[in-house]
Amino acid sequence: MANYKNNKKTSPKKTNNKVYKKVNISRIPTKSKANSKSNKISSKSPLKIIPLGGLEEIGKNCTVFEYENEIIVVDCGLAFPDDEMLGIDIVIPDLTYLTKNKDKIKGVFITHGHEDHIGAVPYLLKEIIAPVYSRALTLGLIEGKLEEHGIGNAKLIEKKPGDKVKCGKFTVEFIHVNHSIPDAVAFAINTPVGTILMTGDFKFDSTPINGDMIDIARISELGRNGVLALLSDSTNAERTGITLSEKTVGASFESLFKGAKKDRIIVATFSSNIHRMQQIINEAVKCGRKVAVSGRSMTNVVEVATRLGYLSIPQGVLIDIKSINSYAPHQLVIITTGSQGEPMSALHRMAQKQHKNVTITPNDTIIISASPIPGNEKTVSNVVNGLMKLGANVIYEKMYDVHVSGHACKEELKMMLAMVKPKFFIPVHGEEKQLSHHKELARQVGIKDKNILISENGRVIELNKNSISQKETVHSGRVLVDGYGVGDVGSIVLRDRKHLAEDGIIIVVMTMDSASGEVVSGPDIVSRGFVYVRESEELMNDIKETVYNSIDRLYNNDVYDWVAIKTKIRDELSRFLYERTKRSPMILPIIMQI
């Protein structure tokens, strides 16, 4: 972190083009106006809305808007693998539909800089050429990803709230919203059939950390003018009430920092939650502590946010993680990744005593400033237990108000519906249960049931001024990324990995005379993840006997085909091992010929 410069905070509005070093950035004047004639276009063609991700799931948000021979794309994010996806790094949307129609794509619009909205942008830009429109921080984060992927010719265009971008028959207006990352926007998309409002991720925060409250005035004005369809964030549709302001977390930090006067303080949070990091830094400055950052993604975000003026860090406060041993515990705050218990994260490595710079001691107070994403509860619990075994004082959401969501709860979702008054409503960004709860909220504010549509990834939604319907399904789904491999790991490979992980493998190796079919050497048995060979000699001998008997039966029936021999060995050995052990390891016969 020695390369960090503690710049004075500058207004994001004054961000200069020079921050984008390797990617071609251009500007569209903020006074650009939408073509007022676009509402007057009369056409029988419907507007097509095609979700490629983000429905019946959390993550990999990507939505296509298509009118005749023109397409715009909103967001292109990733999802993180579940427990069944062994060895997989990330999951991205299947972008086949876009690559097949790349000549139609006029622009890519990004609502904000979270991974589930920008993570797949590099994979998209490897296949298509189109300008990417978003706000300064979002583009800064995207630029870093493009550099990692070796993409240097992308056209990133910075816009501000109130700006309107004309893309063929589409005009897209940027509208400020509150979320857990700065520069989040909603999009009002003017089309030949009417106006579509896509909220992106949002909440109503009346006391945001920096910036303004969500632009209620503009959203209400759109509602008065008439919105054909609303696509709204469903993440917290099950949660009652309203989402607390981010400032409530700041009050908790103040209390916790005061209570840990002699301890080193370690705070784990999402790397993209810049508002949260700012509050941690502010409290550290008040207490006279230095701040170090641990975790690659956290380091990258801090560098970009500081450079663009979204993080204000006084001179001399930020130190390199490698220099923390030069300070007493009460002089330090460490901000780290790992709030979700990710196996390779910095906090997980601390809990396992594997972090090369941080050794956990009883003089540590650790604050996990995040709530577990559904499915991550066990991994988070494991990290908490590991930290506590090392003597640390661990504080997490259930003990203290150290986290608030960036997504709107029920009352805010109803407020959005009531302000927009859409003719049609399509809940997005959620699993089936969240989408269904959001549908019920729409009913409560008076939207007719026939005008509410819960769709699925790949399904074409057709809209005109008087109707909404679902049509054919386009190619969609998930693409698994494993290292440098994109899409080369599918369901069969995952099934094999799961089989190997659960049951292990038995390899049968032998050499046979190609002329006579006689077994010259072997069979040798190799076991991995099934039984320990040296302690299972009797079982190994019985496996060899089963293999011999299988070959004898084939020869007695005049079967000498190598494929048939392998199949017979696999089937008979599988049957024998299940009867003997009630386990079914993967069996791999290898026959060498001489």
Q: What does the alpha-carbon distance between residue 504 and residue 492 come to, in Å, rounded to a whole number?
A: 16
Q: What does the alpha-carbon distance between residue 342 and residue 347 come to, in Å, rounded to a whole number?
A: 8
List, in order, residues 6 or more apart from 399 with CB less than 8 Å away: none
C-alpha angle 305-308-314 in degrees, rounded to nearest 5: 70
The interaxial angle of helices 247-259 and 274-286, nearest 10 deg, is 40
Q: What does the alpha-carbon distance between residue 123 and residue 215 come to, in Å, rounded to a whole number?
A: 32
Query: Which residue is associated with the tokens 């993209």?
Result: 272
Q: What does the alpha-carbon distance between residue 146 and residue 15 come to, in Å, rounded to a whole number?
A: 20
Q: What does the alpha-carbon distance between residue 305 and residue 293 come to, in Å, rounded to a whole number?
A: 13
Query: Which residue is associated with the tokens 């941690």?
Result: 280
Instruction: Please list the residues that pair with 521 across neighbouring strands.
Output: 511
No. of H helices and E strands in the chain?
A: 15, 27
Q: What is the DSSP letter of 93?
A: E
The interaxial angle of helices 410-420 and 432-444, nearest 10 deg, is 50
Closest CA to 463 of 42, 66, 63, 104: 66
List, in order, residues 6 or more apart from 500 with CB less than 8 Å away: 529, 586
Q: What is the DSSP string of 342-363?
A: -TTSHHHHHHTT--SS----TT
The type of residue at 365 is T
Q: What does the alpha-carbon distance between residue 297 and residue 301 come to, in Å, rounded to a whole number?
A: 6
Closest CA to 256 of 386, 364, 391, 179: 364
Cα 539 to Cα 173, 383, 393, 475, 524, distances in angstroms: 70, 39, 49, 49, 13
Q: What does the alpha-carbon distance between residue 252 and residue 268 come to, in Å, rounded to a whole number?
A: 14
75, 205, 233, 482: the active-site residue: 233
Q: What does the alpha-carbon distance between residue 457 and residue 414 come to, in Å, rounded to a whole number?
A: 25
Q: What does the alpha-carbon distance between residue 309 and residue 306 come to, in Å, rounded to a whole number?
A: 5
Query: Which residue is associated with the tokens 């003719």?
Result: 423
Closest CA to 197 of 183, 168, 177, 169: 177
The type of residue at 458 is G
Q: What token pair was written down for 339?
A: 């709030």
112, 407, 429, 438: the active-site residue: 407
Q: What does the alpha-carbon distance between residue 23 and residue 149 come to, in Å, rounded to a whole number?
A: 12
Q: Are 190 and 39 in contact (CB under 8 A)?
A: yes
List, in order, residues 6 or more apart from 430 with CB less than 8 Å away: 55, 58, 233, 234, 235, 237, 438
Is 233 among the residues known to form the active site? yes
Is 496 among the residues known to form the active site? no
Catalytic machinery residues: 233, 407
